[in-house]
Amino acid sequence: MSKKEKIILVVLIVFVIGLSTLSFTINKQGFFSINAANLVTFLISIFIAYFFVQWRTDERNLKAKAEEIIERIQDIVNEDDSHMYTEKIDPELVLLRQRRLTNKINVLCKYCEQLNLEEDILYIKEQLAKYKELIDYHYYDYEYLNRSESQIKNYLANIDQKCDTLNYHLYVKERK
pLDDT computed for residue 150 by the predictor: 87
pLDDT computed for residue 82 by the predictor: 66
**Mean pLDDT across the chain, nearest whole number?**
81
In this predicted structure, the answer to whether residue 68 has a pLDDT above a threshold of 70 is yes
Which of 47-51, 63-67, 77-81, 115-119 has the largest mean confidence? 63-67
Helices 3-25, 36-54: inter-axial angle, 10-degree rounding: 170
Least confident residue range of 6-10, 34-38, 78-82, 152-156: 34-38
- For residues 122 and 66, is the Cβ–Cβ distance under 8 A? no
Which of 18-22, 62-66, 134-138 has the largest mean confidence? 62-66
Angle CA(83)–CA(147)–CA(122) in degrees, nearest 5?
85
In this predicted structure, the answer to whether residue 83 has a pLDDT above a threshold of 70 is no
Distances (CA, A) of 84 to 17, 61, 94: 66, 36, 7
pLDDT computed for residue 91 by the predictor: 76
Question: What span, in angstroms and rounded, lies between the C-alpha atoms of 160 and 142?
Answer: 24
pLDDT band at 145 (very low <50, low <70, confident <90, very high): confident
- For residues 13 and 47, is the Cβ–Cβ distance under 8 A? no
Exposure class string for 89-109: b at 16+ Cβ within 10 A, else e: eeeeebeebbeebbebbeebb
- For residues 76 and 108, is the Cβ–Cβ distance under 8 A? no
Residues 6 or more apart in contact with residue 164 via CB below 8 angstroms: 74
Enumerate helices (H) and strands (E) in the chain, giving the number of each: 7, 0
pLDDT computed for residue 175 by the predictor: 44
Instruction: Tell me the residue type at 174.
Output: E
In this predicted structure, the answer to whether residue 69 has a pLDDT above a threshold of 70 is yes
In this predicted structure, the answer to whether residue 26 has a pLDDT above a threshold of 60 is no
pLDDT computed for residue 90 by the predictor: 73
